[in-house]
Structure 1
Amino acid sequence: MIEILLYSVLIMLASLVGVFSVWHRAGQVIERHLSLLVSFSAGVFIVVAYQLGIEAVEHADTLGSGLIWITIGVLSVWLLFKFLPSSHHHHDQTLETRLHSRLDARRIMASDAFHNMGDGILLATSFAVSPSLGILTALSIFVHELVQEISEFFVLRQAGYSTKQTLVLNFAISASILLGVLGGFFLLESFEIFEVPLLGLASGAFLVVVFHDLIPHSVRASKQKNLYRKHLLWFLIGVVLMFILNILAVH
């Protein structure tokens, strides 16, 4: 149990260190190009949604049950945030603040929490099979989380959160992996039934994030700044990077 918790905490800390390192070395450059980096994040998360959806279908008893959980993820997240009070920030209506006001980052935080809990269950299950498989799984999760947390950082910053708030929120969301680890370790057989629902919910939730929030935000920014090609290029970079990581990752 201690070994699993140790790797979970290392994944959490490594993600935070990765975000901090990127910000510390290129903070000013990132600030000037946040809208472009949101397009990069859209590319990253559309592949994440696809991969989670594939895993949900593969782990489900039938294709239909996997697709049902993905659909539930889409509808539940969309309806939940449709009826929640707006979290928009109201400042002087400059171009950047208008873009901030239209990007609600709560969906991406909820989606990532579902995803992290699923990762925690997967990690606990892998260590139950063998320590070597658990370590390989932890490495795979770490590589994906590093890119995803950095991408999430870009989105939260563009949504109007301060650097400090974003780092705190990133770490808090990363900590949700512990819920999956603890549940998967102590209630392995009964808790495994939540893996497919969590994968499906996370996939559906990320689809909402990408198509309801990130892509429309990028389209507005590209129109207002006339940077269509740059936004498309950064989107494709995010897609290609995540596909490469998926190919290299050990499952």
Structure 2
Amino acid sequence: MSTLTWIIAASLLGGVLSLMLAAILAFKARVSWLSILISYAIGALLGVAFLNTLPEALEHADNPTQVTVFVLFGILVFFILEKLVLWRHCHVADCEAHDPLQSIAATPANHHDHDHGRSGIMVIVGDTFHNFVDGILIAASFMVDVQLGIVTSIAIIAHEIPQEAGDFIILLNSGYTRRMAFLMNLLSSFATLVGGVLAYFMLNEMDFLILPLLGIASASMIYVAMSDLIPGLHKRPEIHATIQQVILILLGIASIWMVGNIFPHT
């Protein structure tokens, strides 16, 4: 397949697959399933960052410092962006907007205490931007190597499922019906395709941006894993929960390593 076909397929499949699984998790409100998936997603994100995107970026760089500067820049940018999103729609001590486990656990079967859609709109706007950036990262990865694109797409899908599940819960709490929540998330997921296609044509003309994007992609995965997902696991300090989390994180890393060996560099 052509590079553009890979990008389109990964963007569409990733969006639809993560959306369907997130809907099942959210509507069934199975916290235990989501906890398992979050642990796996952490491993997948860290596996792609440290086993694939960072080594690839170092190969393209004349100096390793170039890569570390882009990673540092990316982490700071994502920190600022997350602060802006939190400031705009989190006004309580324990914000559920970025914690899908807390959102589902705190949501009774028939929840009617909603905010007339305000939180839901903010979540969709933020998620649309997030999906657009994911599309850019997918495109940049596939333009370097098909193997890198595949493992990057897997990691993005893995971390999108718990995030989308949390979005579903927030939309329901905001007064949206299940159908409307699904449709809004579906429309938001198309931003991945838009970002991927636009990035493909942009990078064909400006391939010097591939190195910075690889560094920022690494920063994105590290930041999401360490800042957004891992803190939620610390809420279950029991030894059996910790062992389960470590095993699932290692499984996520191992699966990325295995995919990298199944799909050789092109």
Instruction: Indicate whether the TM-score tops 0.5.
Output: yes
- Between 169-178 and 225-234, report the one with greater CA deviation: 225-234
SS at match of 1:250: coil
- Between 17-26 and 3-12, report the one with greater CA deviation: 17-26
The alpha carbon displacement at 1:107 in A equals 8.9
1:94-134 deviation digits (Å, cap 9, x = unpaired): x8338789xx999998676545424424545x7xxxxxxxx
Aligned to 1:133: none
* Correspondent of 1:214 among 217, 229, 233: 229
The alpha carbon displacement at 1:237 in A equals 1.5
How many residues in Structure 1 have an aligned counterpart in Structure 2? Answer: 229
- Identical-pair percentage: 18
Looking at structure 1, the residues matched to 224 and 38 of structure 2 have their Cα atoms a distance apart, in angstroms, of 11
Given that 1:56 and 1:199 are in contact with CA atoms closer than 8 Å, whether structure 2 keeps it comes out as yes
The alpha carbon displacement at 1:45 in A equals 0.8
Letter of the 1:156 partner, please give it: E
Aligned to 1:195: 210
The alpha carbon displacement at 1:213 in A equals 1.3
User: Is it true that 1:228 corresponds to 2:234 in the alignment?
Assistant: no
Looking at structure 1, the residues matched to 23 and 83 of structure 2 have their Cα atoms a distance apart, in angstroms, of 35
Structure 1 residues 217 and 168: alpha-carbon distance in aligned structure 2, compared to 1, 3 A threshold? farther
Aligned to 1:45: 45
SS at match of 2:264: coil
User: Is it true that 1:141 corresponds to 2:149 in the alignment?
Assistant: yes
Aligned to 2:112: none
The alpha carbon displacement at 1:181 in A equals 0.8
Structure 1 residues 147 and 98: alpha-carbon distance in aligned structure 2, compared to 1, 3 A threshold? closer
Letter of the 1:171 partner, please give it: F
- Give the root-mean-square deviation of aligned CA atoms: 3.9
User: Pairwise mapping of residues 86-97 of structure 1 onto structure 2 (< 5 A)?
Assistant: 86-88=88-90, 96-97=102-103
Given that 1:121 and 1:183 are in contact with CA atoms closer than 8 Å, whether structure 2 keeps it comes out as no
TM-score by length of 2: 0.68
The alpha carbon displacement at 1:48 in A equals 2.1
SS at match of 2:234: helix
Looking at structure 1, the residues matched to 106 and 44 of structure 2 have their Cα atoms a distance apart, in angstroms, of 20
Aligned to 2:72: 71
TM-score by length of 1: 0.71
The alpha carbon displacement at 1:80 in A equals 2.9
Q: Give the gaps of 5 or more residues in structure 1.
A: 127-136
Q: Give the gaps of 5 or more residues in structure 2.
A: 108-122, 172-180
Aligned to 1:56: 57
Aligned to 2:117: none
Looking at structure 2, the residues matched to 47 and 235 of structure 1 have their Cα atoms a distance apart, in angstroms, of 9
The alpha carbon displacement at 1:161 in A equals 5.0
1:62-107 deviation digits (Å, cap 9, x = unpaired): 111111111111122113322442544669xxx8338789xx9999
Aligned to 2:33: 33
SS at match of 2:237: helix
Structure 1 residues 235 and 145: alpha-carbon distance in aligned structure 2, compared to 1, 3 A threshold? same
Letter of the 2:136 partner, please give it: M
